[in-house]
Amino acid sequence: MPVITSPQEFNVEDLYVDLSAVFDRRLYLKCEGFNFAGSIKLKAATSMVDAAERAGRLGPGSTLVESSSGNLGIALSIIAASRGYGFVCVTDSRCNLTTRQLMESLGSTVHVIAEPDRDGGFLGARINYVRALCASDSRYVWLNQYANPDNWGAHFRTTAPAIAQRFPDLDVLFVGAGTTGTLMGCARYFHELGRKVRIVAVDAVGSVTFGGPPSPRMIPGLGTSVRPQLLDESYVDDVVHVAEPDTIRACHRLASRGFLFGGSTGTVVAGALSWLEEHADGEDVTAVAIAPDLGERYLDTLYQRNWLQDIYGDHVVAAIDAPDAYDALAR
């Protein structure tokens, strides 16, 4: 049994769920939610903080500040608490209440942006607030997950090599696109490795990351209203956009088989099933999708019928209970 001295030392790297019994598709789900932060964001957070410390940007008296829809905020809250830094998370009204409470329980300050920026949406408004905060006091240090190469570097060094080792015959990898740190780290790794692995980015409908038109999004995690600086589309083979009702159906189908995952995972799974239906129907391909987190933080949203009804209407709630609607994702 491993013995650790800090929470960021613990991460379960080699855990996969075979989804063939759930969706009748050969798709393996890499589960990244089994660490103290509960999500894949602990890797990027640790990598960025370590680099800032080596560069002398972080030291005694520093306060981290970052824009986050939730998971990175929790990861940075844990690291800040364990290393003696302050932390201010700038989020918006879509952040789950449970996520905000977790950060505050760890001693972090959570600032909620209530109004979106006219051009940059909620993300633009969050970034503007972060910049203003840093300009007001030199003790604030912004890691800037949207442009920080240590974000994708974490997955280049850990996530992608673990997948490559576990699946030497990997044909296609599905990665959700938020900051695109996980996407770029994995895509760059397989490109440099020389493995012919097809990299498919999964994005949310309404996200501008890959040039689509902006529209309101209620499920945090994937998608952006400002194109991430980390993104280099030359490493991406395909892009799939997933509507939020399909995310919800995928999450509830997984939950009906005992797997409680978050919204980002539901989006990635729905996108992977859609791509496999179109491009690999009947073919024997080895496919892996990355699940960023688990579902406990979404109990008052994705798994709360009243919330779903208020946001999406009766037809989406009815589809959750319809087996044919689930099965349509796998056809």
Active site residue 41: yes
The SS3 call for residue 322 is: coil
The active-site residue, picked from 39, 47, 69, 264, is 264
CB atoms within 10 A of CB 122: 25
Q: Which residue matches tokens 């409908």?
A: 205
Active site residue 274: no
DSSP codes of every residue in 52-94: HHHTTSS-TT-EEEEE-SSHHHHHHHHHHHHHT-EEEEEEETT
The active-site residue, picked from 41, 43, 62, 207, is 41
CA-wise closest residue to 225 among 123, 137, 134: 123
The SS3 call for residue 43 is: helix
Give the C-alpha separation, 228 to 151, whole Å.
12
CA-wise closest residue to 279 among 198, 224, 219, 222: 198
Return the active site residues: 41, 264
